[in-house]
Amino acid sequence: MPVRVPESSMPSQVSDDNAGNTTLPPCTLLSVGQAFSGTQNVSSLQKDEAWRVNVRILGCDLDHGYLCGTMEALNVPMADTPVITFWEGEIVDTKNYTFFTNKWGATSDDDIKHWTKFPSFSPLQSQVETDGGKSLDLSNYPYIFMRWKEQYFVNVGTDCGLTIAGFYYVCFSCSDGSVSGFYYDPNSSPFQKLELKSINEGRSGFSFSSYQLQ
């Protein structure tokens, strides 16, 4: 029978001296080579629609709060083939990036509106509203917040009729490797939800791979 273990992973506040100095510890489920699969809800007022989405992590540099990978959208109506994009992520580690985006057309109000969609954000909300979360120590928090911004189309031209103008607010669960996200683009339907699960690609268990840049 599973044993319930008391949850002690609440975010703590750091002293002013240490503010902005923490780097998130590595999480194996968010390491290079890991794959995720799920859907992105792209419903509009006219119709309900969801695209199947596959994501793979290709690069991770926790010192710089950087993550990148590819996102593959399947059954996209106007595309003959799956559409692959390359994205780069900002990890909210309060050292390199805070919860406030300060770019890509997102105001701090937009930020709060999106972050609050994640239940795991609620313990952090009041502090984030005060200082963007700068004084939070998230190094032992079991969720990782990120922004993923698609940078270019990998296998189709920019004339494919699709846009990558927006970006995703993302919450990753370190426990089970699930990813939740909300797409933000003032010119697209609001709060398009991305839901991904860590996948084993036909295996009976978790598998890991790595490369080492020289």
Partner 1 sequence: MPTSAAASSSSENQSRPVPEDIVGRLSSSMASYEIKLKALRDLKNQIIGNRTKKLAFLKLGAVPSVVSILSSATAAASCRGGYDDNLDSIIIQSAAVIGSFACGFDAGVQAVLDAGALPILLSLISHQNEKVVDAGARSLKLIYQSKLAPKYEFFKDQNLEFLLSLLNCKNENVTGLGACVITHSCRTSIEQRALNDAGVVRKLISLLGGSVIQRDSSLESLAAILKENSEVILKFVGPENGRALNDVIELTKDKHPRTRLLACMCLVVIRNALPSYLQDLQIKTKLVLILLELLDDPGQVGEEAPFILSSLIVGKEDMQRLAFQENVIDKLCCHLEKGSLQAKRLQGIFLALADLCSRLESCRTKLLSLKALQFMVDAMSHDSAEVRAAACICLKNVSRSVENLSAGTFMNESVINPVVQLLCDTSTSVQVAALGAISNVVVDFMVQKTTFIQFGGVKQLVELSKSMDSTIRMNAVCALRNLMFLVSDRCKEAILLELTQSTLTSLICDPEVSVQEQALALVCNLVDGSTDGIRHVFADNCSLLRAVVRQIQSASKVEVVIQGMYVLTNVASGDELHKEAVMDELFPTLPGGPQSIVIKFLQSNESQLRTAAVWTLVNLTLPNSSGAFGRAVKLRRAGIISQLKNMMNDPCLDVKLRARTAFGQMMTLGDGSP
Residues 42-101 that bind partner 1 (CB under 8 A): 56, 58-59, 68, 70, 86, 88
* Among the listed residues 160, 162, 174, 199, the single contact to partner 1 using CB under 8 A: 174
Tell me the C-alpha to C-alpha distance, in Å, between residue 145 and each of 37, 46, 78, 80: 18, 31, 31, 33
Q: Which is nearer to partner 1, 33 or 127 (CB)?
A: 33
Tell the smallest beta-carbon distance from residue 30 to partner 1 (Å). 10
φ, ψ at 82 (rounded to 5°): -55, 145
* Among the listed residues 19, 22, 23, 33, the single contact to partner 1 using CB under 8 A: 33
Nearest to 9 by CA among 180, 138, 173: 138
Beta carbons of 194 and 53 less than 8 angstroms apart: yes
Q: Which amino acid is at 104?
A: W
DSSP category for residue 148 = E
Which spans in the chain are helix H? 108-115, 125-131
* Among the listed residues 3, 15, 17, 126, the single contact to partner 1 using CB under 8 A: 3
Tell the smallest beta-carbon distance from residue 168 to partner 1 (Å). 17
Q: Which is nearer to partner 1, 8 or 15 (CB)?
A: 8
178 alpha carbon, distance to own chain's centre? 10
Tell the smallest beta-carbon distance from residue 74 to partner 1 (Å). 17
For residue 52, the number of C-alpha atoms closer than 13 Å in the C-beta half-sphere is 5
Per CB under 8 A, does 21 bind partner 1? no
Query: How many residues of this chain interact with partner 1, rule: CB under 8 A?
Result: 41
Instruction: Please report, as ranges, the residues that interact with partner 1 according to CB under 8 A.
Output: 1-3, 5, 8-9, 25-28, 33, 56, 58-59, 68, 70, 86, 88, 139-140, 142, 151-152, 154, 174-175, 200-214
